[in-house]
Amino acid sequence: MMKTNENDTLPDDQSVESELNLTEKWDSHAVSNLIRSKSSLGDMPAFLFLGKQESDLLREHLAQAFGEEAVSTLHDTYYMGLRVYEVMVDSFVRVAGKKTTRTLQDPIARRPDWRTDTSDALWQLRV
């Protein structure tokens, strides 16, 4: 760990190991398997951290599908549902974080009760 202050520590490329080794081309299947290995019981990782070499490989891979002008930068890019972050080291691949899931609420549960005191007077039919 690299120390910045007495209480602050930041991970560096020696203390945090890469989880995948991509050398010549981008391997979507290997990245997909890595994501699956980090997913459990509905929990999904949220971030894909890439070193300089892997960022270049991903750019080339996406350029084949979308054109080079579409992927000149990976800023605000999502790949397989993960937010891509470029790390300033030569070679690094890591999947981390946790996506938060919103619980679905029953829309009926959010409706006011039928015939409450305030609405009851409005709904009475007088003949």
Q: pLDDT tens, 65-121?
A: 888 888 888 888 899 999 999 988 899 999 998 887 655 555 555 555 555 555 556
User: Which has more pLDDT, 30 or 119?
Assistant: 30
The model's pTM is 0.67
In the sheet with 78-79, reading across from the earlier edge strand, the strands are: 78-79, 82-86, 47-50, 93-96
Nearest CA among 66, 31, 26 for reference residue 48: 31
User: Which has more pLDDT, 13 or 31?
Assistant: 31
